Structure 1
Amino acid sequence: MNSHLWDGRYRILKVLNIREETTTYLVEDASLAASQYVVKQLRPPSNNPQTLKILRDLFTSKAINLEKLGQEHDQIQKLVAYFEENEKFYLVQEFIPGHPLTEEILVGKPLSEDQVISILSEILELLVFMHSRGVTHRDIKPGNIIRRESDNKLVLVDFAAVKEAINPIIVNSGYLPEEQIQGNTKYNSDIYALGIVAIAAIMGLKVDEIARLQSQRNRLTREIVWRNKNIKVSGNLVKIINKMVRFDYRKRYQYATEVLEDLKQLKNPTQDNKQQKQQKLWLIITGIAGCTLLGGAAWFLQLQKPLSNTQTIYQKGVSNYQTGKFQKAVEDLTQAIELDPQNALAYNRRGDAYYQLGDYEKAQADSSQAILLNPQDDNAYYDRGFSFYELGKYKEAIRDYTEAIKLNLKNPYTYYGRGLAYSKLKDNKRAIGDFSKAIALKPEYSEPYLQRGIIRRRLKLNKVAIQDFSTAIKINPNDAKAYYHRGLMQVANKDKNAAIKDYTNAININPKYIEAYLSRADVYSDIGNQIEATEDYNKVLQLNPQLTAGYIHRGLHRFSFGDYQGAVEDYTQAITLDAKDAAAYNNRGNAYLEMGNKKAASQDYSQAIAINSNYALAYYNRGITRAKLGNKKGAIADFQKAAKLFRQTGEKDSYKDAQKEIASLQSQSVYVNSTRLKSKERKDN
């Protein structure tokens, strides 16, 4: 036992936790019998006298707020004392006998829906109280929620505000939203963290699995994809939790009261809505008052101030957007803008709604107006960048992403967006650089690995491309695209069994993944698995009967197994769908020639050449047909044209074949081996 008494009274009993910036102890008060407390020792980043003075003022201010909070609510850990000693700061907090929520959230043992709703409701009531007094917790996670032994109630402990005042380093526990990690904490950042706690409880996730959950985001919406068929909770609860953990804090629940209201609807959907709305309005006004952090008179005035008509209409528009009613959202937000033309956020939100409706021109225009009203809003530049991207204006998108980066250097998603735009412009070096920067800022973000891998695959950097796809899969095992693209790399490396395994994984994750079926079918066909290949090609065309490539690939498969009539039928269907597909004509010509119909074959090759005058394969194949028909002069002309085109494209073997045919014809040998027909080679999808 340590003989030194902190502040002349607190004796260390044991060390509870050691971190880089804090150490937590269990102590006793030497002046009181049977008294135990938790003490946090906060180490400042510098012992510079001027820095210590600033930190001392911040520490005292934050500690006073936290002390008042604990005095006013029984389910918030009480701050007993605070002091400074030897250039370190100390918080003496209530010791609460009980167990943390981590002991209730067990691996593989999900909590029931009623249990999750009970936890959410109890903590949300505490958030309503805290937020109305201008305080955020900033570190809500199962370890900071204690089930009190004496009455079984939940108690919030270990508020982060005082710790962050001394050392502003934010450690991402996996429960923190993006805006908080970037130093822009909102009141609904606590709502997000509580939503992650709910997901962990429903799925039975241990602490080290939370970070991986964060990486399972939809590439376009950036929302967490967590629900699966094994999760036994209602769709309404899932909808509430999804709204709690929306990536964009503006699209999240704004107030804890809103979440409570929706949870109560789950229990009692017939509850009087009028009474609920009146109660919600009062609590929202109280919350707004707390957020202002103004003095007594100003706070009182704020409490009395009702929500304006503009605010009400704006909130209605936001609500419609969040429930997927994008057209109604546009109408409401337009009305809000008419009432307040300086409302930059309303323009931003309406732009988001237009984006969801696919009206990228209007989305871009609204983002532009938001930027005019608030040139320092990096999110507005970010939004406009995506609008430009969807409009195919990649240079403009890059300019906006670059401006957003100037305003916020630490947003990995902006670098990712700019990388996508550079990729579209085939600026592979800059695209790889941006994806690498996004990875450096957020190593658990899987999408940049996937996109960087795709570029590296195109550059034939096989080894590092596979590494990128494998890392993406490790971070997000449900990333079907990563499996698919790794499968393409396995084919390039001639490991066809591994390719089939990757394509199969992609299909298991996404049973409608047409490209994966098509690529797997091609591999099955190449290794001679006729039945499996046919099943996959049929599945492709079942999923999309209008897919020209599906008919062409199945035609190639049928041709390779001697079903020339079936191949003709497939190529004819492809031509019906796309009369400008030169490959379909060329390949149908091959099938006709194998069936002995030289005239039809020659007509198809000529049509392919009419569509694409640089189609080397069609010239080569027409040369074979003309030779068979005795048109020696025409055949030589076709082989010469083919040879020239093959040489230009670097196809050495095909160039040699054409030269041999020319030499054979010029030596009066008109015998041509029909097995040397050339079809369009399959390409990666």
Structure 2
Amino acid sequence: MNSNFLDGHYRILKVLSDGEKGKTYLVQDVNVSDNQFIVKQLCPPSSNPQTLTILHRLFARKTATLKQLGQKHDKIQKLIAYFEENEEFYIVQEFIPGNLFADEIIQGQPLSEDQVITLLSEVLEILVILHSYGVIHRDIQPANIIRRESDKKLVLVNFGTVNEAMTNTVDNLEYMPIEQVNGNLKYNSDIYALGMVAIAAMRGLPTKEISNLRSQKNNLTGEIIWRDKNLKFNSKLVKIINKMVRFDYRQRYQYATEVLDDLKKLKNVETHQQKQHDKKLLLVLMGVAGCITLSVGTWFLQSPKPVNNAEKKLYQDGLNKYDAGNYEGAIEDFNQAIELDPRNALAYNRRGNAYYRLGDYEQAQADSSQAILLNPQDANAYYDRGFAFSELGKYKEAIADYNQAIKLNSQNVYAYYGRGLARAELKDNKGAIGDFNKAIALKPQYTEAYLQRGILHRRLRQRLGAIEDFDRIIKINPSDAKAYYQRGLTQFINNQKYAALKDYTDAIKINPKYIEAYLNRGDVYSDLGNKIEATEDYNTILQIDPKFIAAYIHRAIHRFSFGDYQGAIEDYTAALKLDPNNVVAYNNRGNAYLELGNKKAANQDYSRAIAINGNNALAYYNRGVIRTKQKNKSGAIADFQKAAKLFQQQGEQDSYQDAQREIAILQNNSAPAKNTRPKSGKIEKN
């Protein structure tokens, strides 16, 4: 790739920023015109193929939505294109000549009240559009608002919705509400951020001063104390901003339209008072003001009959597309339904379900939260948000939502099931078993509940109970491949290898692309010494998915077991090309190098594994073996001591004793008894 070009045709004019998460460039598209664009590089958090596949899907969908929005609304920065190159993601954005709003906030020079109201009104109108499409900006701050040179209008840029999908982190905490920092994103998180921008403008505070301001809170309420007594602002405007920046999102404005309503009322009152003073036509003006107030109160919230009918049709079309598995199409319909009625709780709920199906759990959580705010008695919305929280790893929050769903509807079988999954993740095994039992009692044919209860029984070493659960599933549905697979895992743990082989084979017959079943059957064949059959299973996996790292590693372990050390090295190397930070591959490749007598390469691999994960006991142990062979006594003792400590912490008693034995031999400076010192390092399976 030519270093001066991106995607072959974007010529780099200037590097605008260079940070840990990627670079931002000013470019020219040589194929189209001399127009300039902004290209942002977004570095994914992992090079793991499975992770990249998920990120690719999220990236494509989020950028497609932003592209659509930019084309429809000229106060939203246009997204021109997006592409992937060398496992990195890029977005091409409109270059907007103008000034950053951050440059308009000068320390100690507050903006006027009218300027602040204009700021709020213009940005809120953009947020109405964004939120109706299910887009949360996530990073509203003065540096992401541009006053366009051509018409002096404010434009929103640098949407965090794509950045956070790639990095799963947040920056610029000065303007973010606590729920967003904690990963519990809401639509009114944007409203909070805009309120903080307004405060900065009203006080003349640059970004670096906002952090100090946030620390000035009321000890009783937790609210920010921001108002300067020397500054004279309309008390009603102050009240609006206070409500925008409430610490508790439930006490904040829920919609951009609500803030706009109050701002319009404020402006109307001011206009009303001015006319009273000038013309003194009180009765007439009261009538006019009443009409204005009525129109403002119904702004954006009421629609004539034809629009309501259109909204209902869009909602139904969205449901039909969802049922047909067209989740992207469903989201588009729900977007339009919400744009017509931003208080349509069902549309938010269903759109959240579609986001969940697409793997966008953060957006699913935000939509479910909005549905709950609109209808706190909707048990399904709590249940849906619980599953989104679980996928985000927020199991305590998920359990709280499942509790509420059960409180509202004690017969909600799926809420018990979801709570059981979350409790299992938190190691509340008794509670999880109880929830799966309740789900099964409510729905005796609920195979998923049997499956999860069986897996939990196996984890608790209640293997007969686990097999009974898997048997029950197979009786209910003889074509459930997962039940055969899970029973096979349990049989293998019970040392019933031939029974496990049969179960894995049955799972594969039902689902010929069941990669995990091939992987485990290959391992059983390898344990039984069936060299050809094991190799065939690993090869089949790689035909189905050439980027499935575990298949390379397991095939390498299999090759190592019968002395094909060079073949093992090739497989570990292939795994490391897919995931350069795979500790297992480095550790085990070191063992293969050691068997071939290449101590230097082995030592490098063990050291690399330790550099990636300083708590990898096997890598320390294996490097201790190398250092012993290299007569590096002090280094070997240090490695075995570190390994012993880690093995003990991890409950690996046999390995702990092995390491202690090696230390004793080295410290006593005596020759080891025959066959006590390992010829090679310990193998690690992922």
* TM-score, L = length of structure 1: 0.52
Q: Secondary structure of the equivalent of 1:444?
A: coil
Distance in 2 (alpha carbons) for counterparts of 1:649 and 1:348:
43
* Gapped regions of structure 2 (runs ≥ 5): 1-305
Matches of residues 21-420 of structure 1 in structure 2 within 5 Å?
308-420=309-421
Alignment pair present for 1:524 and 2:489: no
Corresponding position of 1:668? 670
Q: Secondary structure of the equivalent of 2:637?
A: helix
Corresponding position of 2:97? none
Residue by residue over 1:493-537, the C-alpha shift from the partner in whole angstroms, topping out at 9 and shown as x without a partner, is 111001111111111111111111111111110110000000011
> Structure 1 stretch 454-463 or stretch 517-526: which is displaced more?
454-463
Distance in 2 (alpha carbons) for counterparts of 1:602 and 1:306:
71
Corresponding position of 1:679? 682
- Superposition CA RMSD, Å: 2.6
> Structure 1 stretch 429-438 or stretch 639-648: which is displaced more?
639-648
Contact in 2 for aligned 1:555/1:570 (Cα 8 Å): yes
Distance in 2 (alpha carbons) for counterparts of 1:541 and 1:497:
24
Contact in 1 for aligned 2:307/2:340 (Cα 8 Å): no
Structure 2: which amino acid aligns with 1:615? N
> Structure 1 residues 367, 610: closer, same or farther in 2, change over 3 A?
closer
Corresponding position of 2:650? 649
Distance in 2 (alpha carbons) for counterparts of 1:612 and 1:319:
48
Distance in 2 (alpha carbons) for counterparts of 1:444 and 1:343:
34
Distance in 1 (alpha carbons) for counterparts of 2:613 and 2:400:
37
> Structure 1 residues 314, 659: closer, same or farther in 2, change over 3 A?
closer
Contact in 2 for aligned 1:512/1:543 (Cα 8 Å): yes
Matches of residues 590-609 of structure 1 in structure 2 within 5 Å?
590-609=591-610
Matches of residues 453-472 of structure 1 in structure 2 within 5 Å?
453-472=454-473
Residue by residue over 1:43-81, the C-alpha shift from the partner in whole angstroms, topping out at 9 and shown as x without a partner, is xxxxxxxxxxxxxxxxxxxxxxxxxxxxxxxxxxxxxxx
Corresponding position of 2:289? none
* Gapped regions of structure 1 (runs ≥ 5): 1-304
Between Structure 1 and Structure 2, whose CA radius of gyration is higher?
1
> Structure 1 residues 637, 476: closer, same or farther in 2, change over 3 A?
same
Corresponding position of 1:489? 490
Distance in 1 (alpha carbons) for counterparts of 2:451 and 2:422:
15
Contact in 1 for aligned 2:458/2:466 (Cα 8 Å): yes
> Structure 1 residues 405, 564: closer, same or farther in 2, change over 3 A?
same
Q: CA deviation at 1:675?
A: 4.7
Corresponding position of 1:436? 437
Q: CA deviation at 1:418?
A: 1.5
> Structure 1 residues 438, 634: closer, same or farther in 2, change over 3 A?
same
Distance in 1 (alpha carbons) for counterparts of 2:669 and 2:336:
83
Structure 2: which amino acid aligns with 1:668? S
Contact in 2 for aligned 1:445/1:475 (Cα 8 Å): no
Q: CA deviation at 1:306?
A: 13
Corresponding position of 1:510? 511
> Structure 1 residues 345, 650: closer, same or farther in 2, change over 3 A?
closer
Contact in 2 for aligned 1:628/1:672 (Cα 8 Å): no
Distance in 2 (alpha carbons) for counterparts of 1:497 and 1:422:
34
Structure 1: which amino acid aligns with 2:418? G
Q: CA deviation at 1:447?
A: 0.8
Distance in 1 (alpha carbons) for counterparts of 2:393 and 2:376:
24
Matches of residues 611-630 of structure 1 in structure 2 within 5 Å?
611-630=612-631
Distance in 2 (alpha carbons) for counterparts of 1:461 and 1:601:
41
Contact in 1 for aligned 2:501/2:524 (Cα 8 Å): yes
Distance in 1 (alpha carbons) for counterparts of 2:310 and 2:613:
62
Contact in 2 for aligned 1:378/1:408 (Cα 8 Å): yes
Structure 2: which amino acid aligns with 1:493? N
Residue by residue over 1:304-323, the C-alpha shift from the partner in whole angstroms, topping out at 9 and shown as x without a partner, is x9993433333333333333
Corresponding position of 1:282? none
* TM-score, L = length of structure 2: 0.52
Q: Secondary structure of the equivalent of 2:383?
A: helix
Contact in 2 for aligned 1:453/1:465 (Cα 8 Å): yes
Distance in 2 (alpha carbons) for counterparts of 1:362 and 1:558:
45
Distance in 1 (alpha carbons) for counterparts of 2:664 and 2:342:
78
Percent pairwise identity: 68
> Structure 1 residues 594, 375: closer, same or farther in 2, change over 3 A?
same
Q: Secondary structure of the equivalent of 1:405?
A: helix
Q: CA deviation at 1:445?
A: 1.0
> Structure 1 stretch 494-503 or stretch 674-683: which is displaced more?
674-683
Alignment pair present for 1:550 and 2:551: yes
Q: CA deviation at 1:568?
A: 0.9
Contact in 2 for aligned 1:627/1:672 (Cα 8 Å): no
Residue by residue over 1:421-443, the C-alpha shift from the partner in whole angstroms, topping out at 9 and shown as x without a partner, is 22233322222211111011112
Corresponding position of 1:565? 566
> Structure 1 residues 668, 361: closer, same or farther in 2, change over 3 A?
closer
Q: CA deviation at 1:566?
A: 0.4
Q: Secondary structure of the equivalent of 2:683?
A: coil
Q: Secondary structure of the equivalent of 1:456?
A: helix
Structure 1: which amino acid aligns with 2:611? A
Structure 2: which amino acid aligns with 1:468? D
Structure 1: which amino acid aligns with 2:406? I
Q: CA deviation at 1:467?
A: 1.7
Distance in 1 (alpha carbons) for counterparts of 2:366 and 2:651:
47
Distance in 1 (alpha carbons) for counterparts of 2:637 and 2:322:
66
Structure 2: which amino acid aligns with 1:439? I
> Structure 1 stretch 318-327 or stretch 465-474: which is displaced more?
318-327
Residue by residue over 1:573-594, the C-alpha shift from the partner in whole angstroms, topping out at 9 and shown as x without a partner, is 2222222222212211111111
Structure 2: which amino acid aligns with 1:637? A
Distance in 1 (alpha carbons) for counterparts of 2:361 and 2:648:
44
Residue by residue over 1:116-144, the C-alpha shift from the partner in whole angstroms, topping out at 9 and shown as x without a partner, is xxxxxxxxxxxxxxxxxxxxxxxxxxxxx
Residue by residue over 1:613-658, the C-alpha shift from the partner in whole angstroms, topping out at 9 and shown as x without a partner, is 2322222222222222232333333333333333333333323333
Contact in 2 for aligned 1:367/1:380 (Cα 8 Å): yes
Corresponding position of 2:534? 533
Contact in 2 for aligned 1:630/1:670 (Cα 8 Å): no
> Structure 1 residues 438, 633: closer, same or farther in 2, change over 3 A?
same
Corresponding position of 2:447? 446
Corresponding position of 1:46? none
> Structure 1 residues 532, 337: closer, same or farther in 2, change over 3 A?
same
Distance in 1 (alpha carbons) for counterparts of 2:680 and 2:655:
11
Distance in 2 (alpha carbons) for counterparts of 1:375 and 1:620:
56
> Structure 1 residues 370, 630: closer, same or farther in 2, change over 3 A?
closer
Distance in 1 (alpha carbons) for counterparts of 2:366 and 2:609:
44
Structure 1: which amino acid aligns with 2:516? E
Q: Secondary structure of the equivalent of 1:579?
A: coil
Distance in 2 (alpha carbons) for counterparts of 1:587 and 1:483:
31
Contact in 2 for aligned 1:347/1:366 (Cα 8 Å): yes
Contact in 2 for aligned 1:643/1:659 (Cα 8 Å): yes
Q: CA deviation at 1:671?
A: 8.1
> Structure 1 residues 652, 307: closer, same or farther in 2, change over 3 A?
closer
Q: Secondary structure of the equivalent of 1:308?
A: helix
Distance in 2 (alpha carbons) for counterparts of 1:585 and 1:314:
53
